[in-house]
Structure 1
Amino acid sequence: MKKFLQFAVAALVALPMISVAHGPTRQTTSETITINAPVDKVWEVIQDFGGIHKWHPEVASTEMQGDETRIITLTRDGSPTITESLTRVEEDKKTIRTRINEMSVIKTIEFNSVETPYYTLPVSTYSSWLSVKEVGGKAEVQWRGAFYRSFMNNPPVPEGQSDREAVEAVSAFYAKGLEGLKAALEK
């Protein structure tokens, strides 16, 4: 009985520590905008995988490597890049799916005695869906993403690499892109 009580006390002490000692969890975000343009016109622009620089204000240029891989260079300091693959085009749903293969390292810091890179976006294992559908005679565009924060170790997390900061960075990138798409199509 004494051993059982010792085990129970040890488990109760360890349980709170186990619950906070974990790596990142999968995060999601979604941004939506309504564009006063025909759905087919919006879909034509969205499915041009190499043309994101024509409507996203943060994308300076796009370099295609084959039909399904693009390297986008951002307008930020240092011209960081994101290499993405087109993983699926669903014509019937007017949806494209992408994933990030690689990103520039913006800087590296030492955090808890480990070299920690900061990437173009503070995410890893990133996938996105960009789709358009008709709503009330207009085009509703939704951009959603699922990812983990880039810092894959247990807390503490370096500044700029938390789950919240990863969601904020991706959401801001989507929102600016959708505003740029709207501006380009409503000229």
Structure 2
Amino acid sequence: MVKVYRSTILPAPIEAVWDILRDFNGHDRWHPAIADSQIERGNPADRVSAVRRFRLTDGAELREQLLTLSDMETSFSYCLLETPVPLLNYVAHVRLAPVTDGDWTFWEWESRFDTPRGQEDALAALVGDDIYQAGFDAIRAEMGLEAA
């Protein structure tokens, strides 16, 4: 099993960051890899079990399901249902925590998944760099924050 973990600190209040990340169908507005996204069956984006179908800028289509969402813990988790990339049994968790010294936000994004033998390092780098780190950078840009 592969585990990917990335974290960052954003110079913004947790409420402002959570307001953007909480929208399970909002990633197409800020993540550079996402071309468009929609929630299937007209369900609300914050309903646990909601499924988002989205297209990447390279044309690939994916489906992910919201597994948990907690406003109290400023966290959510989701899994991949369909993907052209062999990320098997992929489950990810996003958590925010307040950094009280300066009213900043600590953001961690992690996942675990299986993959065909020999592809572990390449797929861990893809997830960690092209998804998570690119997401951190995109939120900074979306919020007008300085780069880390």
TM class by shorter chain equals 0.7 to 0.9
Q: Which residue of 1 aligns with 2:21?
A: 46
The structure number with the bigger radius of gyration is: 1
Q: TM-score, normalised by structure 1?
A: 0.68
Q: CA deviation at 1:51?
A: 0.4
* 1:83 has 2:63 as partner: yes
1:108-123 matched pairs, under 5 angstroms? 119=84, 121-123=85-87
Q: Distance in 1 between the 2:36 and 2:8 partners?
A: 23
Q: Which residue of 2 aligns with 1:59?
A: 34
Local SS of the residue matching 1:56:
coil
Q: CA deviation at 1:128?
A: 0.4
String of CA shifts for 1:120-146, please: whole Å, max 9, x gaps. x33110000111111132111111111
Local SS of the residue matching 2:121:
helix
Identity %: 19
Q: Tell whether the 8 Å contact from 1:36 to 1:186 is kept in structure 2 after alignment.
A: no
Q: TM-score, normalised by structure 2?
A: 0.85
1:26-37 matched pairs, under 5 angstroms? 26-37=1-12
Runs of 4+ in 1 over 2 A off after TM superposition: none
* 1:71 has 2:70 as partner: no
The structure richer in helix per residue is: 1
Q: Which residue of 1 aligns with 2:78?
A: 98
Q: Distance in 1 between the 2:144 and 2:53 partners?
A: 27
* 1:148 has 2:148 as partner: no
Q: Distance in 2 between the 1:127 and 1:81 partners?
A: 18
Q: Tell whether the 8 Å contact from 1:37 to 1:186 is kept in structure 2 after alignment.
A: no
Q: Distance in 1 between the 2:97 and 2:143 partners?
A: 15
Q: CA deviation at 1:90?
A: 1.7
* 1:178 has 2:142 as partner: no
Q: CA deviation at 1:94?
A: 0.5
Structure 1 gaps of 5+ residues are 1-25, 104-118
Q: CA deviation at 1:148?
A: 0.7
Q: Which residue of 1 aligns with 2:96?
A: 132
Q: How many residues align?
A: 135
Q: Which residue of 1 aligns with 2:47?
A: none
CA RMSD of aligned residues (A): 1.4
Q: CA deviation at 1:55?
A: 1.1
* 1:166 has 2:123 as partner: yes
